[in-house]
Structure 1
Amino acid sequence: MPVYDAESMTITAQRVDRIAEDFRASMDKLRGIEGESPFGDVEDPDNPDKVAGTVGAFTDGMRSEFDAAAGRVSAASSALRDAVGAMSEADAVAADNLTARDL
């Protein structure tokens, strides 16, 4: 039968929270084209915003992926915390239900 350690699970939940924050910090660092286009002559002269729009769409998509990942990692952390709470509650109920018997 597995043994669960609430303290270790709480520490793990905190570490998982940090991973979610890392995803959010990375997402904040994603930028599209700011200022003059670094692509210069590659742009379509008839539609100079095409490259910037493509890079912008890619950047938006990546930000969305980072946001989704952070949300999933946060959900995992919440699940760990809920499990710790349920285990602690079950332990408290079990301790209250114990009775001492004379042998």
Structure 2
Amino acid sequence: MTIVSQQSDPDSLEHVAGKVEDLHDRFKDSKQKMIGVAGPNPFGDIRHPDHVPGEHPSEHAVSALQSYRDRMHGQFDAAAELMKSTGGALRDAARALRGTDDAARDSVTVKDGSLDQ
């Protein structure tokens, strides 16, 4: 039977925190690329099939795409903030581990006399 010892390495935690925080930047970049409809209506000037005056189905399509874009921007923002806070939590955990290691190092007592020379 093999027993595996799991250790938390502060340097590894900080490395992972950096990777997670990089995801924050990627979400922000992706959000900027999702612009919706810009410029002339890509659907052209489509009239209602029953010739209803003032009714432009293409305007409804643009409106729907803008609503979709706005909701997706909200999702990108939420994901980016989640990555930012996760990175911060990982960095806090690394600091806590370092603090615990430092405190343990300062309070170690050797009772077997192996350090006596």
TM-score w.r.t. the length of structure 1 is 0.88
- What displacement does 1:81 show? 0.5
Partner of 1:55: 65
Query: In structure 2, how many angstroms separate the alpha carbons of the residues matched to 1:94 and 1:34?
Result: 60
Cα distance change on mapping 1:17 and 1:97 into 2, 3 Å: same
Rg larger for: 2
Q: Does 1:71 align with 2:65?
A: no
- Name stretches of at least 5 consecutive residues in structure 2 with no aligned partner: 49-53
Matched to 1:22, the amino acid is R
Matched to 1:85, the amino acid is R
- What displacement does 1:49 show? 3.1
- Name stretches of at least 5 consecutive residues in structure 1 with no aligned partner: none
When you count helix as a share of all residues, which structure comes out higher? 1
TM-score w.r.t. the length of structure 2 is 0.78
- What displacement does 1:4 show? 1.2
Moved over 4 A (4+): 41-45
Q: Does 1:46 align with 2:55?
A: yes
Instruction: Say whether the 8 Å CA contact 1:43–1:51 is kept in structure 2.
Output: no
Q: How many residues align?
A: 103
| CA RMSD between the two structures | 1.8
